[in-house]
Amino acid sequence: MTQLKPSAQRVQDAIRALGYNFTVLELADSTRTAAEAAAAVGCEVAQIAKSLVFRGEQTGEPVLVIAAGHHRVNEQRIADHLGEPIGKANADDVREQTGFVIGGVPPIGHARPLRTLIDEDLLQFDVIWAAAGHPHALFQLTPQALVAMTGGTVVRVV
């Protein structure tokens, strides 16, 4: 078995620590975008659980929004849910808060605990795919496991 890159191994270790047997895959093709990830594993773009980091503009609190790959997040809807305006975190903030680079941010294994909101549309699928710490790594899981692993709140994001 090929050794995973350190960032992908951290995600694999987090999966195991949470008691799951999902396997991180590293692919030759990029999985940086939802479209690239879907093409790489042969699924619908909607089955990609993309991780986006936002920040409360008043509190500075980071929030992870895990959205279906085909959705554009309605920032006002998220702001209404959080009770404060939000802005998208920049690349440095994302790396500081999660420990991962944009294009590889997984739903778990972050440097710091993040409040997590999960797109309700992901729950319609039997299986979904999420980034695994590197722009060429991902793992397959169920929507129910995503909610359990992250402790996330299921909300409408569009």
Mean pLDDT over the full length of the chain: 96
Indicate the pTM of the whole model. Answer: 0.95
**Greatest CA separation for the chain:** 47
Whether pLDDT at 1 is above 70: no
Whether pLDDT at 8 is above 70: yes
| Among 103, 98, 84, 94, residue whose Cα is nearest residue 30 | 103
Query: Distance (Å, rounded) from C-alpha 72 to C-alpha 70?
Result: 7
Looking at the structure of the chain, the number of domains it has is 1
107 is a domain residue: yes
Q: What's the average model confidence in pLDDT over 92-104? A: 95
Q: What's the average model confidence in pLDDT over 24-49? A: 96
1 is a domain residue: no
Long-range CB contacts (within 8 A, 24+) of 22-27: 22/139, 22/140, 22/141, 22/145, 23/139, 23/140, 24/132, 24/133, 24/137, 24/138, 24/139, 25/132, 25/137, 25/138, 25/139, 26/2, 26/134, 26/136, 26/137, 27/136, 27/137, 27/138
- Per-residue model confidence (pLDDT) at position 76: 97
Report the percent of the chain where pLDDT is more than 70.
Answer: 99
Residue 44 structural domain: 6-155
Whether pLDDT at 155 is above 80: yes
For residue 24, the cross-strand partners are: 139
Confidence band of 90 (pLDDT split at 50, 70, 90): very high
Q: What's the average model confidence in pLDDT over 20-42? A: 96
- Per-residue model confidence (pLDDT) at position 98: 97
CATH classification at residue 30: 3.90.960.10
69 is a domain residue: yes
Query: Distance (Å, rounded) from C-alpha 126 to C-alpha 136?
Result: 23
Tell me how crowded residue 120 is: count the other CB atoms within 10 A of its CB: 14
